[in-house]
Structure 1
Amino acid sequence: MARRKIPYNKRATTYEEQITILRRHGVVISDEAKAREYLADIGYYRLGFYLYPFEKTYPRLDSGRSHNVILGTRIEDAVALYYFDLDLRNILHKYLSRIEVAIRTVFIYELSTKYSGDPTWFVCPSVVKPDFIANFPTAAYNSIKRNDVIKRHHKIYLGQYAPAWKTMEYMTLGNIEILYDSLILNKDKKLVSNRFGEPATATFKSYLSAIREVRNACAHGKTLFDLNLFTGIRRGKAGNFQGINRHTFREAMAVVDYLLKKISVNRVKDMWDDIYRVTELLYAKAPSLRPLIEDKTGIIIPEIEEKSEIQNS
């Protein structure tokens, strides 16, 4: 039975009122001026995402949820988690871009060389499903053709579309994912997935979805450490994912790690070094968060001896 809706009657609050509410929920605020700075910088509503793990009823979101926090929770703890999440988004955005470029490049090369007689194979009825072809102008190309490279192409050459190696450079990762799923022949999908060591095309499609969702979360400032993926990740070379764990950020990180290793082992090391650095900063400010971060993200900082082995490997 659907929950009965009620009128929304909450009003906007001032910084002073927000501080009062936070204290009422048990948040320790020793410096009101600094707390006001946090609220002005981050925002009361967004800060709530990072106070959420400190709530006594976490992870409940139903009517039984209480906003009251665990005894001793400071506003600085939530702020530290916010900046950790921000740093993590910035780090991952860099490496996800590397993965996206590699996927795009492999896709363009493998299919364009196979269908070398048709530069616009991505709208060919014998290669791609009709729904993709029918929707491509409005779903993708109307935006793509605004780019200067594509404009110059159409000033010189006939044809409705620029070739794949031009057009696909301007497709979004979501467009790429849909195109992959729209390939008629499974062996065409395998041309791409096999290059990344994953023979199961449905599994590779779930990897694309995970990368897209994490990338979008990074780009749009969504909470990352507590991210739940809309599309579950299938079991495959990146991990034996099962049940609810198919939707967590922890498993998404396993996919990021797997794909990046297929591109560059050195970049994987750089990524984890960057992640360990910001995680150590978080624990220095809010040590109580270690169990939560390890559980939600799978980020386990190696001991000094392990770090030396990794660096020398």
Structure 2
Amino acid sequence: MGSIATTVDEQLKILTDRGMTFDYEEAKLKEILLDIGYYKLGFYWHHFQKDRNHNFLEGTKISDVIKLYYLDVNLKSVLAKAINRIEVNFKTKLIYFGSNKYKDNPFWFCDTTLIEDYFTDEFPRVYTNKFINDNKPIKNHHKKYPKQTYAPAWKTLEFLSLGTIIVLYSCLKDINLKKEIALCFGVKKPQIFENYLKTIVFIRNICAHNDLLYDSNTAKEIETTPMIIFNNNNRHSLDSSIKVILYFLGQVSANRRNEVQKEIDIIFREHQSNPIISTILTEKSNYRF
């Protein structure tokens, strides 16, 4: 469409000219375009196109594009809830083991003798007046203790993002503390544990910002261990990222892990009999039906 805005009617004509088959009524098509948007749907029909002129493969139906879109939406919903469970558990472990190791230092997370400068130098940019005012327990703490720069770890860390918490973990100077926390999730080597955490936060950010998930690939290769077997040894694919999430979730709750695995399989296998969608999912997500 270039850089010129188009109407819904013009968008439908463009799709028709490029070979898209409409198996919805016109009113429904317009509703979809005004709901999801032509531009966003382009990320999903992209893999149905056969050439640089954006012409569609023969037999491409708008309903298939919508199915792929909702697979992405549903998958993000399931994974976001799973990651939230992991995030809460990881934060709890970091707070518990860190705070008990440094019992006499409730502000250990900003102590330069315990934490690498990379974190402590940047932390004031995180712990701003806005951060304080946005989080009621933190705000109340500073009202009660106005001379303290920070609230204690068990209050502060609860309100940090998963990404920031992972950076804090990576900046722990005590390797034994790192190992102790990693072993809670069955991982012996902190560097592998950090790699897995970064994989999880990569997917978490996609879900949180409603980005494209079904063909996402991690920039950094996922580490291998005997605990997780990746399809075709592909260590960048969505399926491999899901396997990491499911592994971590299983360390928190085996029952919840099994439930989420079933939910994910249902989402994918709903399209098993659709040759176009199943091929796209196999090639782009590395999922095996």
The reply to whether TM is greater than 0.5 is yes
Q: Does 1:289 align with 2:282?
A: no
Aligned to 2:100: 113
1:49 partner amino acid: F
Aligned to 2:253: 264
The question of whether the paired residues in 2 share the 8 Å contact of 1:198 and 1:237 is answered with no
2:205 partner amino acid: N
Query: Distance in 1 between the 2:267 and 2:230 partners?
Result: 27
Secondary structure of 2:104's aligned partner: coil
Aligned to 1:51: 45
Aligned to 1:80: 67
Structure 1's 142 and 185: CA in aligned 2 closer, same or farther, altered over 3 A? farther
For residue 236 of structure 1, the aligned residue among 225, 241, 263 is 225
The question of whether the paired residues in 2 share the 8 Å contact of 1:250 and 1:296 is answered with no
For residue 148 of structure 1, the aligned residue among 127, 130, 136 is 136
Sequence identity of aligned pairs in percent?
A: 37
Root mean square deviation of aligned Cα: 2.3
TM-superposed CA distance for 1:199, in Å, is 1.3
Q: What is the CA deviation profile of residues 67-91 of structure 1, one whole-angstrom value per residue up to 9, with x for unaligned ones?
A: 2221100011101110111111111
1:135 partner amino acid: E
1:113 partner amino acid: N
1:270 partner amino acid: E
How many residues were matched structurally?
Answer: 286
TM-superposed CA distance for 1:123, in Å, is 0.6
The question of whether the paired residues in 2 share the 8 Å contact of 1:211 and 1:256 is answered with yes
The question of whether the paired residues in 2 share the 8 Å contact of 1:28 and 1:74 is answered with yes
Query: Distance in 2 between the 1:165 and 1:261 partners?
Result: 25
1:109 partner amino acid: Y
Structure 1's 287 and 240: CA in aligned 2 closer, same or farther, altered over 3 A? closer
Aligned to 1:177: 166
Aligned to 2:4: 11
TM-score w.r.t. the length of structure 2 is: 0.91
Structure 1's 110 and 276: CA in aligned 2 closer, same or farther, altered over 3 A? same
Query: Distance in 2 between the 1:150 and 1:90 partners?
Result: 29
TM-superposed CA distance for 1:240, in Å, is 5.8
The question of whether the paired residues in 2 share the 8 Å contact of 1:233 and 1:241 is answered with no
The question of whether the paired residues in 1 share the 8 Å contact of 2:48 and 2:57 is answered with yes
Q: Which moved more, 1:228-237 or 1:39-48?
A: 228-237
Query: Distance in 2 between the 1:25 and 1:215 partners?
Result: 35
Q: Trace 1:157-236 onto structure 2 (pairs within 5 A).
A: 157=145, 158-236=147-225
* Unpaired runs of at least 5, structure 1: 1-7, 58-64, 302-313
TM-score w.r.t. the length of structure 1 is: 0.84
Query: Distance in 1 between the 2:129 and 2:176 partners?
Result: 30
1:117 partner amino acid: D
Query: Distance in 2 between the 1:141 and 1:110 partners?
Result: 26
